[in-house]
Chains A and B, each alone.
Chain A
Amino acid sequence: MTAEAIHDHASEPPPALYGIAAEFDTSEALLRAARAAHLQGYTRMDAYSPFPIEGMAEVVARHPNPMPRIMFLGGLAGALTGYGLQYYCAVIAYKINVAGRPYHSWPSFIPVTFELTILFSAISGLIGMLAVNGLPKPWHPIFSTPHFERATRDGFFLCIESDDPRFDPQVVRRFLSQQGAKEVHDVED
């Protein structure tokens, strides 16, 4: 979408908007703009940057970080699976007398319990992280933003999304320009 198209939009029916994205030069400018948008009362927005920016998620995220809980539950499931499996094998399903040790010789069951705790927790970490982030998602409207390929190199983007209750294209565009954005673009849905 060119600047011209943005100006023309008053005369035409507006295209379905995903949001309005602004590119900033530095991570500091992006963080400032996101905080300003937050103060303005915008709630549906996301920032895109080539590396994690400290303090950014607190501004744009609507939900707390679920990962520690997911990985803890994964680990717990692993521990129970590991110990339960060994208990079942050694005490119930296939009893063998090994040098007179008790069937339920728990110290010998620790290593495998430990390994499965780690394994389940790590797998639930990666799968959970992807699921919570909605990945894999090969296409997303934000990719149509001009120069968005810079978001994985040296570009810093803020997108205020159209489902925000306070979303008004004119106001958002003006607001983002005032925050020192290098460029402001409409993002079609």
Chain B
Amino acid sequence: MAAEMRHTNAAEPPAESERGIEPLAPVLAPGQTYASVTDKISSIVLERPYHPGWLIGFGISFALVLLLLFAIGVLFTIGVGIWGINIPVAWGFAITNFVWWIGIGHAGTLISAILLLLRQRWRTSINRFAEAMTLFAVACAGLFPILHLGRPQYFYYLIPYPNTMKVWPQFRSPLVWDFFAVSTYGTVSLLFWYMGLIPDLASIRDHARKRVSQIVYGVLALGWRGSAVHWRNYESTYLLMAGLATPLVVSVHSIVSFDFAVGIVPGWHSTIFPPYFVAGAIFSGFAMVLTIAIPLRRFYGLQDFITHRHLDNMAKVMLANGLIVAYGYVMENFMAWLGGDPTEVSSSMDRMFGRYWPAYWLLIACNVLIPQVLWSRRARANTALLWVVSLIINVGMWTERFVIVVQSLHHDFLPSEWKMYYGTIWDWATLLGSLGLFSALLFLFIRFLPMISIYELRELVKETGGGKQRPDLMSATPPTRSKL
């Protein structure tokens, strides 16, 4: 990373480039060919031996998965009383984690669908693992609403099905909408991701040497042969799916925010919640993409594909969404003051100066103040700094969800009801375990599936004027650190 920084500083552009006249950095390093991009990405799956780094990373993540299973086991045996929840704070960590995870997922869909529709070609190198991240984040998110039910074995009551009790779900409740939104989101993300993988699975099938790989990837590729007619149907479906995923992603976090906004709890009952939640979701999601992308491109030597242009663009998206989120924070307090409702005013004052004040000011620092360094071009070019900022935003967004859920509930209408909430060791174990589940799935993904869309990279090679140059041009790219 130090070498990269030095490189950036050495190539420091003259003054006018600070004003944005400088041509954009490439989205793909020059000298790539169809064959070189195919071989580079598929070799990560097919040829690299297991590196100790991967094994250690996966081992730690898997240990955390075991912790999650243990925490869930205890929860199912004893009940939700092992958590710190009480009345009035009945939601606690579970819903905080749910909202946080599902928000993280949103950046993946945004990158893969909205940027596709907007013809932002720089998305190509990052869409695949961003989509995988969406899927794994939704898997983590989906756990929590079920875990937080007192009787989780009856979660299927949310599904409308004919039953002997002759009872049907109550469709005027946002909690039922939420069930439909999250399950649709998970399913559509899975379909979209798998569909994008099909041509790449065929690439891997055709270049695998081992019989097992040939069979497994062959089955998954469904016999894809790159026929022109197939490509036409495929591309049009992919584009339409992106068109469907775009309003879907906006609807999902809007509906998640309805869980709060439709309630009358002071601090929740506000029309700004849907846009504020969607912006927050994109904000935290992009932070998570950067948190993953920066180490990934370094360990697998993917700087040619995930270039500084990608990091720079993602940092800008993050900055813009951070400002929308900051506007949301200001508006919450402004509307409480403007409305003059005593409970709203009391809740706002408590948020800032009450017993949860450290959490509130931590989120202001993490989500509003620190991200402002991204205005500086030099800060965005510094990958180490960018990575730290993205981690800080992840923490800040979790804290924001915590404040919305816990602080609002603990300070509702009657002072006699006010009660503090503290997470217990089981709350923390479940949160930590879900992080482990997320990273274990990611580790498996980067080892066994192409983490960058190969066929879209080949298209990018064609568009950027590359193609069938001699493969020895590959050596012009900097020697990569084949770490894992």
Residues of A within 8 A of B (CB): 25-27, 34, 46-53, 56-57, 59-61, 65-68, 71, 75, 85-86, 89-90, 93-94, 96, 98, 101, 105, 108-109, 111-112, 114-116, 118-119, 121-123, 125-126, 128-130, 132-133, 135-140, 142-143, 149, 151-154
Q: What's the Cα separation between A155 and B226 when bound, in Å?
A: 10
Of all chain A residues, the one with the shortest Cβ separation from B203 is A152
Contact indicator per residue, chain B 205-244, by CB within 8 Å of chain A (1) or not (0): 1110000000000110011111111111111110011001
Is B176 a contact partner of A57 (Cβ separation < 8 A)? no
Is B462 located at the chain interface by the 8 A CB criterion? yes
Is B38 a contact partner of A154 (Cβ separation < 8 A)? yes
Interface size bracket, B side: 35 or more
CB contacts (< 8 Å) of B195 on chain A: these are 126, 129
Is A135 a contact partner of B223 (Cβ separation < 8 A)? yes
B156-189 residues at the A interface, CB under 8 angstroms: 160, 166-172, 174, 176-177, 180-181, 184, 187-188
Is B34 located at the chain interface by the 8 A CB criterion? yes
Is B446 located at the chain interface by the 8 A CB criterion? no
Is B455 located at the chain interface by the 8 A CB criterion? yes
CB contacts (< 8 Å) of A51 on chain B: these are 34, 199, 231, 455-456, 458-459, 462
Of all chain A residues, the one with the shortest Cβ separation from B42 is A153
CB proximity of A145 to chain B, nearest CB, Å: 10
Is A119 a contact partner of B184 (Cβ separation < 8 A)? yes
CB proximity of A150 to chain B, nearest CB, Å: 8
Question: Which stretch in B138-146, B247-255, B313-321 binds the other chain?
Answer: B247-255
Is A47 a contact partner of B188 (Cβ separation < 8 A)? no
Is A139 a contact partner of B223 (Cβ separation < 8 A)? yes
CB proximity of A112 to chain B, nearest CB, Å: 5
CB proximity of A82 to chain B, nearest CB, Å: 8
Is A112 a contact partner of B171 (Cβ separation < 8 A)? yes
Q: What's the Cα separation between A125 and B34 when bound, in Å?
A: 29
CB proximity of B156 to chain A, nearest CB, Å: 15
CB contacts (< 8 Å) of A86 on chain B: these are 171
Q: What's the Cα separation between A26 and B35 when bound, in Å?
A: 12
Residue in B167, B177, B180, B458 whose beta carbon sits within 8 Å of that of A94 in the complex: B167
Is A114 a contact partner of B228 (Cβ separation < 8 A)? no
In the complex, besides A68-B236, A111-B180, A125-B240, 18 extra interface pairs with C-beta distance below 8 angstroms are A27-B462, A48-B225, A50-B38, A51-B199, A52-B235, A59-B228, A75-B244, A89-B168, A93-B166, A98-B172, A111-B181, A115-B184, A118-B188, A132-B233, A136-B222, A137-B222, A151-B225, A152-B207
Q: A98-B170, A138-B218 are in contact. Are A71 and B240 (CB under 8 A)?
A: yes
Is B33 located at the chain interface by the 8 A CB criterion? yes
- A-B residue pairs in contact (CB < 8 Å), sample of 25: A51-B34, A51-B456, A65-B232, A67-B236, A93-B166, A93-B168, A94-B166, A105-B172, A111-B181, A115-B177, A115-B180, A118-B244, A118-B247, A118-B248, A119-B187, A121-B244, A126-B195, A126-B241, A136-B222, A137-B222, A142-B225, A149-B207, A152-B199, A152-B206, A153-B34
CB contacts (< 8 Å) of B174 on chain A: these are 111
Residues of B within 8 A of A (CB): 33-35, 38-39, 160, 166-172, 174, 176-177, 180-181, 184, 187-188, 191-192, 194-195, 199, 202-203, 205-207, 218-219, 222-237, 240-241, 244-245, 247-248, 251, 255, 258, 455-456, 458-459, 462, 467-468
CB contacts (< 8 Å) of B233 on chain A: these are 65-67, 129, 132-133
CB proximity of B219 to chain A, nearest CB, Å: 8
Q: What's the Cα separation between A67 and B237 when bound, in Å?
A: 6
Q: What's the Cα separation between A59 and B231 when bound, in Å?
A: 13
Is A47 a contact partner of B160 (Cβ separation < 8 A)? no
Is A125 a contact partner of B241 (Cβ separation < 8 A)? yes
Q: A108-B172, A140-B223 are in contact. Are A122 and B459 (CB under 8 A)?
A: no
Is B171 a contact partner of A46 (Cβ separation < 8 A)? no
Is B226 a contact partner of A48 (Cβ separation < 8 A)? yes
Main DSSP-derived SS at the B contact region: helix
CB contacts (< 8 Å) of A118 on chain B: these are 184, 188, 244-245, 247-248, 251
Main DSSP-derived SS at the A contact region: helix
Of listed A65, A67, A115, A130, residue having the most chain B CB within 10 A: A115
Of all chain A residues, the one with the shortest Cβ separation from B235 is A52
Q: What's the Cα separation between A104 and B194 when bound, in Å?
A: 38
CB proximity of A155 to chain B, nearest CB, Å: 9
Q: What's the Cα separation between A66 and B169 when bound, in Å?
A: 36
CB contacts (< 8 Å) of B224 on chain A: these are 135, 152
Is B251 a contact partner of A111 (Cβ separation < 8 A)? yes
Is B229 a contact partner of A133 (Cβ separation < 8 A)? yes
Q: What's the Cα separation between A15 and B248 when bound, in Å?
A: 53
Of all chain B residues, the one with the shortest Cβ separation from A71 is B240
Is A57 a contact partner of B240 (Cβ separation < 8 A)? no
CB contacts (< 8 Å) of B205 on chain A: these are 152
Q: What's the Cα separation between A109 and B180 when bound, in Å?
A: 12
Is A57 a contact partner of B237 (Cβ separation < 8 A)? no
CB contacts (< 8 Å) of A143 on chain B: these are 225
Is A47 a contact partner of B228 (Cβ separation < 8 A)? yes
Residue in A48, A119, A153 whose beta carbon sits within 8 Å of that of B228 in the complex: A48
CB contacts (< 8 Å) of A46 on chain B: these are 227-229
Is A65 a contact partner of B236 (Cβ separation < 8 A)? yes
Residue in A60, A68, A138, A151 whose beta carbon sits within 8 Å of that of B223 in the complex: A138
Q: A71-B237, A111-B177, A126-B237 are in contact. Are A49 and B184 (CB under 8 A)?
A: no
CB contacts (< 8 Å) of B458 on chain A: these are 50-51, 154
Is B168 a contact partner of A50 (Cβ separation < 8 A)? no
CB proximity of B477 to chain A, nearest CB, Å: 17
Is A153 a contact partner of B225 (Cβ separation < 8 A)? no
CB proximity of A1 to chain B, nearest CB, Å: 18
Of all chain B residues, the one with the shortest Cβ separation from A95 is B168
Is B229 a contact partner of A61 (Cβ separation < 8 A)? yes
CB contacts (< 8 Å) of A137 on chain B: these are 222-223
Residue in A50, A96, A111 whose beta carbon sits within 8 Å of that of B255 in the complex: A111
Q: What's the Cα separation between A66 and B237 when bound, in Å?
A: 10
